[in-house]
Amino acid sequence: MTRLLVCRFAQRGRLVPALAAAALLAACGEVTPGPGFEHYAAAPTAARLVEVLDGKPDAERRRLLVRALELHGIPYRKLAYTAATGPGTNIEIELGGGAPALIVAAHYDRVAESGGANDNASCVAAAIDVYRAVAAAGAPKNISLKVVFFDDEENGLAGSRHYAATAAPDTIAGVVSLELCGIGDAFGIWDIHRGMEDSLIVRALRAAGKATGVYAGVHGPVPRFSSDHWNFLERGIPAVGLTVLPRADEAALRAYVADPNSLRWLLRWMRPTIFRTYHTASDSAETVEASALAMVARVVARAVGEADSLMRTNKE
């Protein structure tokens, strides 16, 4: 997840710089890489893949992602690009022969100061399990499923910008970008812009939440945070973010995303749970919950089925 607004706590009084320094020191720490790929291969669960990806450099995370796909026999495409920020590689997997495509996105890169477990290894691991669950249930017939693992989300959304710019909008039914999906028992559908409330992707996600008994909160535009779905929105393609959170944190999370620069959030333990480790060395695999990963896979796989049914109805 990319933060779009720079904090300026130090402009708010003499006490603030000292508090900011204390908060910064609390967030600092050494990023320790997780175990090798054999740890995942021995018992290929989503939680173990998060452990393996934790703390690894982006290029290594990409190699580990490809090895995970190969372990499960999932065909993939490497989509290399060159952006103003430099070269990168997106990874795409696809299922089903229908058109248009429903895209489930998860970026695999991380910020240097963070282990990148919840942001965003949790989503990479969950997205693989979404694909596996849909494949096990039977490929959709009225849409296709594309799971795209984007590079450079933390570097100006460069990977998804290139992908969206080269895709024909009428070939995409909708996009959901998975962000911070490893902590909690509910999910939020966010950045729903005007006119998208009844889009296929939003309807499918809400129906999936209801069918699986998982609480789904909805949120309108989120100007201070963004993710890879934004580049599709700019092209007129229905696209949203999806994040997992403890349901008890919903009110606090809404307040946080509305004004993340408020002094009330300066001390990180006062923030909503998922933002206590965000972009810090504390974002490690130990904080990610296996139950949250399983919930995401279950809900999003169900949403693919709901979208397939909705598309069939639309065609009739």
pLDDT tens-digit map of 60-119: 999 999 999 999 999 999 999 999 989 999 999 999 977 899 999 999 999 999 999 999
- Whole-angstrom Cα distance, residue 206 to residue 208? 5
What are the backbone angles phi and psi of residue 223, rounded to the nearest 5°?
-70, -20
For the whole model, what pTM was predicted? 0.92
In a domain, 17, yes or no: no
3-state secondary structure of 87: strand
Q: Is residue 22, in this structure, part of any structural domain at all?
A: no
By the 10 Å C-beta count (0-12 exposed, 13-18 middle, 19+ buried), 215 is classed as middle
pLDDT band per the 50, 70, 90 thresholds, residue 16: very low
The answer to whether position 148 is within a domain reads yes
Mean predicted confidence (pLDDT) in 167-186: 97
In a domain, 19, yes or no: no
Assess if residue 4 is contained within a domain.
no
The number of domains in the chain is: 1
Give the Å distances, CA to CA, from 263 to 16, 92, 249.
8, 41, 18
Does residue 187 form part of some domain? yes
- The neighbouring-strand residues paired with 80 are 89
* CATH number of the domain where residue 262 is located: 3.40.630.10
21 is a domain residue: no
| 233-242 burial code (b ≥16 CB/10 A, e <16) | beeebbbbbb
**Residue 275 DSSP SS3:** helix
Q: Please give the residue range of the domain that contains residue 141.
A: 30-315
